[in-house]
Structure formats: structure tokens, C-alpha cells
Amino acid sequence: MNYDPYVLERIHNALCFIEDHIHAPCGVADMAEAAGYSLFHFARLFNHYLKISPYNYLIRRRLSMSVSTIKNSKLNLLEIALSYQFDSAEGFSRAFKRMFGINPSLFRSGTALDPNLFCPAFVKDDIKELCTAHYFNPQPIRLSGKTIFGRVYRTSNDSDIKKMILNNKDKYIIIDFLAGEKNWHIFLETEVSDTRNRGIVSLEIDGGEYANFSLSSDILPLFRKFVFPIWLTKIMGHTLPCRIILKKNQTLKAYLPFTQT
């Protein structure tokens, strides 16, 4: 999709307005006024350009910013909730858990958050990427259930995953993102199918409806940057736990189930 530089500039004005009002009262109507559009027109354009509603983006930015406050301040959860414009500690905790997979008190006690779950403050280049990226138009596909065999690794390093993709054509690579863990669980399919061999385990790929994304190994970090705050939230209504199924033939395919448990 092409973008209109004039519209992009106005949406960027709204994004700057959001960052200036993380701790202040701010609604979608206020964002629309900052962009110079009517409420209806603004909401439609924002959703069209950023693939997420302005309200959801605002909430996810506030929750992302609250992480530092929870970790580094002595404010109680009610004070933090009110600071980020939530009506109650309970409502804040529910929203926090929906986004990060754990409640804020558990995070404060030392449980880790996956940094990939944070919603970044989008800049102009991000708006352009979201407008033009083909991978936000996935094709629906039905996969049959199957059992595969391989080894499990743990990493949060993009270069490790890229090497696995480049060196393992026609093999499944399953990435599991779990709440409260910094490292991702990576399952790499092997030719060996005997679980009596050391380190070989089996994994079930559930049959069902999937979104089929076509990528390149170089774009995987960028894909992940946007797929968590946008695709998982918009389509499935939650973030964690999540499984991405990768397989490289001529191109790299990423499969995301429409329903995750």
C-alpha cells in the first residue's frame, strides 16, 4: 500500500501527542484534534496506516512505559495505575497481564518480561513500514496436524535464529514465546526421529487455520517488532503464550494460528 505524506505527517503529529500525554488525560478525540481530523476520519486513517486502533495503541504505550515505573519506583500499584490514567489498580493489573502474560506485582517481585512484548513508540519510518510491508497481508491456510522430531534450544538472539533459518532448509523451526521468560524456546526439526537419542524430543504441530506470512530471514526482527503489538492483539485479542512456526523452502514462511491457547 502506498502512503500519503500529508496524512503520514498528521498521524505522526498524533503519535507525538500521545507521547506527550502518557501521564495526562487523553482520548481518541484529543488525538484526532492533534492530527487535525474528525474523530471518525482519524480513527479510520490511524487503523488503516498503523493496523491498530488509536485507543489500543495508547493503552499499550502506557502499559509499556509503566514497566520502568513498576521496576524502579516505590509507588504502589494504585498510584502507578492513576499515573497512567487507569481508573483502578485492578483495571491496570488486568490490562498489564493481558499484554505481558503476568500481573504487575509478579513482575515487581522479579519475574522477567520478554522485551519483544513492549509496544514501541512508532516514528515516521515505522508508519511507512506498516503501510508498505507485504507481510501484513497474510494468506489464510489450513495446516494438517503432525508430529515432528528435533532438539530444543533457548535464545533471544536474532542472529541465532537467522543462522538456524539459513542452515536448515525444509526444516521446521518452532519459536515459543512464554510469559515471564527472557529466552525463547526454539525447536529445530532434525532428520533423527528416535527419541532415545540424547536430546531428541517430539513436538506436535496442531492442525487448524493459520495466517501464512511470507518473509525473509533479514526482516524477521522487524516482523516480530510489529507482529506482537499489532497482529496478535488485533486478531487474537491477546499476546502470550504464542507460537510462531517457521519453514524455509524457496521463501521463509511464518505461520501463526488464529487461535492460541
Domains in the chain with CATH codes? 5-132 (1.10.10.60), 138-257 (3.20.80.10)
Q: How confident is the model at residue 13 (pLDDT cuts 50, 70, 90)?
A: very high
For the chain, what is the mean pLDDT? 85
- What is the average per-residue pLDDT within 175-196? 79
Answer whether 0.85 is exceeded by the pTM. no
What is the pLDDT, as a whole number, of residue 191? 87
pLDDT tens digits for range 19-73: 999 999 999 999 999 999 999 999 999 988 888 899 989 999 999 999 999 999 9
Q: In this predicted structure, which of 103-112, 174-183, 191-200 has the lowest mean pLDDT?
A: 174-183
**Of 215, 72, 31, 241, residue with least CA distance to 134:** 215
Q: What percentage of the chain reaches a pLDDT higher than 70?
A: 85
What is the pLDDT, as a whole number, of residue 121? 92
- What is the average per-residue pLDDT within 97-122? 85
